[in-house]
Amino acid sequence: MNNNNTIQLTYREALKQSIRQALQKDERVFLMGEDVGRYGGAFAVSKGLLQEFGPERIMDTPLSESGFVGAGIGAAIAGMRPVVEVMTVNFGLLAMDQIVNNAATLYHMSGGQVNVPLVLRMSSGIGRQLAAQHSHSWEPLFAHIPGLKIVSVGTHEDARQVLLAALEESDPVIIFEYTSMLNLESEISTNPETVDLVHAKIRKEGKDISIITYGAAVYKSLEAALDLAAKGIDAEVVDIRMLRPLDETTIFTSVSKTHHALLVEDAWRSISISSEISALIMEKSFYELDSPVQRLGGVEVPIPYPKHLEDACVPQKEDIVKKVIKMLHHD
């Protein structure tokens, strides 16, 4: 603790505090997933919560994503507020039938009679040498699906607040958390702002270029902005945060101010969130641009195991700095 208004904590602890607060606030809320109880979660996010809240609210499930996601959908329809943890985004593929054909469609298919207030939490991104079956950034895959809200938790503040906002929604929300950030510490306010699941967030104001990003790339973009400032470049960092629906207004306002846009994400570059935002900027803010929109994305290979190759697969701070300098011709 640094003073009475801020606290130092890890990303993991911020996530845990959000779950604890949600459980305390609403007795309808419960957590279910693989190893979330006695083991304390695959990444220790729920460690200690079973002892605090008991097995009726912290439920270990069989290794069947389709089964327990389906159970969560049923509980949500019946009036509960389930928080379903899918260990990694890769395992989310095993529940795609439930997510796409049930959670995302029931409101539409019932003519607005059936809501599914389900919250799915998934760990995403490179997994600190967990290799190709545990490490991908597949947020664009889920953001493609109408009927879902998709949230990316790129900061400690959001890690502690997003779950509470998601549980207020009457339709399904998928929250992407980031394995690589779990041990990262940050100082946050003891009274953080409420997240509204509507607006993107300007993490740093700037006037020379808009770095538009989300997830694990947010802090890297902020670090890059500091390095760029030392070189006389004032970069603005926009955390998209909501991947579906996108907050187009905040994006366009930033581009209209800086007249340059670099889109940064760990997901594969092709057919990505950045692809969609680039198209939107070209369609609706083309005449605000002084240079073409540029993208930095993940290298299009399965994530390798060796750390140096894993790091090389996603944009790093140095890549962002070099790209911005090249875009602005500050040689």
Among all chains, which residue has been given the structure tokens 């929604």? Answer: 169
**Cis bond upstream, residue 245 (ω within 30):** yes
Of the candidates 13, 34, 65, 236, the residue annotated as catalytic is 65
Using alpha carbons, select from 132, 62, 138, 126 the residue that is nearest to residue 99: 138
Residue that has been written with the tokens 């290979």 in this structure: 301
Q: Does residue 134 have an active-site annotation?
A: yes
In sequence order, what E strands does the chain have? 6-10, 29-33, 58-60, 81-86, 119-124, 149-152, 173-178, 185-189, 201-204, 209-213, 235-239, 242-244, 261-268, 294-298
Q: What is residue 100's DSSP assignment?
A: I
Beta strands 201-204 and 209-213, pairing class:
unpaired
d(CA 216, CA 290): 28
Catalytic residue among 134, 136, 156, 260: 134
DSSP codes of every residue in 50-74: HHHH-TTTEEE--S-HHHHHHHHHH
Question: At what angle are helices 248-258 and 273-284 packed, to 10 degrees?
Answer: 60
CA angle 221, 232, 274 (to 5 degrees): 30
* Active-site annotation, residues: 65, 134
